[in-house]
Amino acid sequence: MNYDVAVAGAGLVGATLACALAKAGLRVAVIEASEPLPPMGEDWELRVSAITPASEFILRGIDVWDALPCDRMGVFREMHVWDATGGGRVHFDAAEIGAEALGHIVENGAVQRALEHRMASLDTLKVFRPDTVEDLLIERDRATLRLGGARLHARLVVAADGSRSRLRELAGIACDGGDYGQEAVVATVLTERGHAETAWQRFMPDGPLAFLPLPGRFCSIVWSTLPEHAQALLAQSDEDFADALGQAFEWRLGRLETVGGRAAFPLRHLHARDYVGERIALVGDAAHTVHPLAGQGANLGLQDAAALAEVVHDTCSRGRDPGRRSNLRRYERWRKGRNRLMQEGLSGFQWLFSSRLEPVRAARNLGLSTVDRLPPLKRLFMRYASGFGGDLPRMARSPRWP
């Protein structure tokens, strides 16, 4: 079977890329290891993502945004960030950059289901699932993927199969990375007071605690902390966990009630040394993983998808081969430096706020308060956090695609 592009992994990033390419008329194969998701239940899902306005454009461009269940999406127009060990704080407000919102909080499963639905509607897109990539052969004018149940040929293969990417390994692309020494505990809570469509983040020496607004008085929480503390939090009764959480959050939204379960995710940082090779490109977590403290991981991946779709589309429109490394280099130059900067910035932030050294503590509190008093700097932060900083792919600027 011959395709223009074969995408391994139909997570948020791979499925978005596949839809963008197929909408532009390319023949696309998608290989996904998991079964399709069951229909959405009534309970809140544990995994949510803060989706930036730039990512909203990308999802609009592939006709997925309007298929999301708006009654299950939270919006945040403001953000409060403060340091637990001093008076440093900063307040962001979308109105200061003339925007309606700083982003939306969406259950990952809701986006995933909308993407699955969209993939099924595109004539030139075929999904192989559940199936996995077992072998890769790069030849002069094509790549061959051996799956558990089939063999595919494509001009370009894309690794979108997450941080432990098998395709990246088969292509022999090395990574730099390590552990943050933290795990992120996630849960959903009902708060006594309304969250005021605001995202809240309190930095503690063991890691940041975020409250992300869902509809009504519900919040999704992400509590990054030391692994042993994370495991202890998972083992607590609902009442004890709600109490520990409320204390850690200084009871800003009153008393808390947990709804549903809890889970913990080990946090790692990783960066592939190359984003492209002959007939292969890496996107999303297969290329980079970052600390979740700024809710940027999936958003960076969606920008990768939009940039790669644009490069492949432009290359094909000129009658050139989209799998040639020389043509793919534009994608690498576009995204790698930017993602690395964001990753290093977030790692620096995480180090700065974990430090117990007095001069560092004093400096970060002063830094936060200074940013709060400097509107131009605040606006710059907000533009980057909204995904609108730097050289944007076409899809992130306008919902018209291709």
Ligand X SMILES: Cc1cc2nc3c(=O)[nH]c(=O)nc-3n(C[C@H](O)[C@H](O)[C@H](O)COP(=O)(O)OP(=O)(O)OC[C@H]3O[C@@H](n4cnc5c(N)ncnc54)[C@H](O)[C@@H]3O)c2cc1C
**CA distance linking residue 300 with residue 345, whole number of Å:** 14
Q: Does 285 bind ligand X (CB under 6 A)?
A: yes
Site size for ligand X (CB under 6 A): 32
Q: Does 296 bind ligand X (CB under 6 A)?
A: yes
Pairing mode, if any, of strands 151-159 and 143-147? Answer: antiparallel
Q: Is 303 in the site for ligand X (CB under 6 A)?
A: no
Please report the sign of the dihedral spanned by the C-alpha atoms of residue 129, residue 302, residue 117, residue 186. Answer: positive
Q: Report the nearest approach of ligand X to the CB of residue 266 (Å).
A: 8
Instruction: State the nearest-atom distance from the C-beta of 387 to ligand X, in Å.
Output: 9
Q: How far apart are CA 44 and CA 339, in angstroms?
A: 31
Among the candidate windows 12-20, 252-260, 348-356, 357-365, which touches ligand X by CB under 6 A? 12-20
Q: Counting Cβ atoms within 10 Å, is residue 193 exposed (0-12), middle (13-18) or buried (19+)?
A: exposed
Q: Which is nearer to ligand X, 146 or 217 (CB)?
A: 146
Considering only the stretches 80-88, 160-168, 187-195, 316-324, report the one whose residues sit in contact with ligand X under the rule CB under 6 A. 160-168
Contacting range for ligand X; rule: CB under 6 A; set: 93-101, 161-169, 251-259, 344-352: 161-169
Q: Which stretch binds ligand X (CB under 6 A): 158-166, 235-243, 314-322, 388-396?
A: 158-166
Please identify which residue in 13, 73, 233, 276 interacts with ligand X, judged by CB under 6 A.
Answer: 13
Helix (H, G, I), strand (E, B) or coil at 51: strand
Distance CA 356, CA 122 (A): 53
- Helix/strand/coil (H/E/C) assignment for every residue in 251-308: CCCCCEEEEEEEEEEEEEEEEECCCEECCEEECHHHCEECCHHHCCHHHHHHHHHHHH
Gap between the Cα atoms of 359 and 85, Å rounded:
12
Nearest CB to ligand X, comparing residues 170 and 311? 170
Indicate whether 31 belongs to the interface with ligand X (CB under 6 A). yes
Closest-CA residue to 225 (of 281, 293, 272): 293
Neighbouring C-beta atoms of residue 77, cutoff 10 Å:
18
265-284 binders of ligand X (CB under 6 A):
265, 284
Identity at 5, one-letter amino acid code: V
**Of the candidate residues 26, 97, 233, 298, the single one contacting ligand X (CB under 6 A):** 298
Query: Shortest CA distance to 298 belongs to which of 287, 308, 309?
Result: 287
**115 half-sphere exposure, CB direction, 13 A CA radius:** 26
34 in contact with ligand X (CB under 6 A): yes
* Residue span binding ligand X (CB under 6 A) among the ranges 61-69, 75-83, 155-163, 322-330: 155-163
Q: What is the 3-state secondary structure (H, E, C) of 86-147?
A: CCCEEEEEHHHHCCCCCEEEEEHHHHHHHHHHHHHHCCCEEEECCCCEEEEEECCCCEEEEE
**Any contact of residue 50 with ligand X (CB under 6 A)?**
yes
Using CB under 6 A as the binding rule, whether residue 350 contacts ligand X is answered as no
Nearest partner of 352 among 366, 339, 336, 340, judged by Cα: 366
Q: Between 27 and 288, whose beta carbon lies closer to ligand X?
A: 288
Q: How many whole angstroms separate alpha carbon 34 and alpha carbon 270?
A: 23
Which stretch in 10-18, 248-256, 323-331, 371-379 sits in contact with ligand X by CB under 6 A? 10-18
Least Å distance between CB 82 and ligand X? 19
Could you say whether residue 83 binds ligand X (CB under 6 A)?
no
Kindly tell me which residue out of 17, 152, 175, 184 binds ligand X, with binding defined by CB under 6 A: 184
Is residue 301 a contact residue for ligand X (CB under 6 A)? yes
Residue from the set 59, 62, 125, 132 that interacts with ligand X by CB under 6 A: 132
Does position 8 interact with ligand X (CB under 6 A)? The reply is: yes
Q: How far apart are the first and last CA of the chain?
A: 25
Radius of gyration of the chain (CA): 21
Closest separation between CB of residue 164 and ligand X, Å? 7
Q: Under the criterion CB under 6 A, does residue 327 sit at the interface with ligand X? A: no
Residues that bind ligand X (CB under 6 A): 8-14, 31-34, 49-50, 132-133, 160-162, 166, 184, 186, 222, 265, 284-285, 292, 295-299, 301
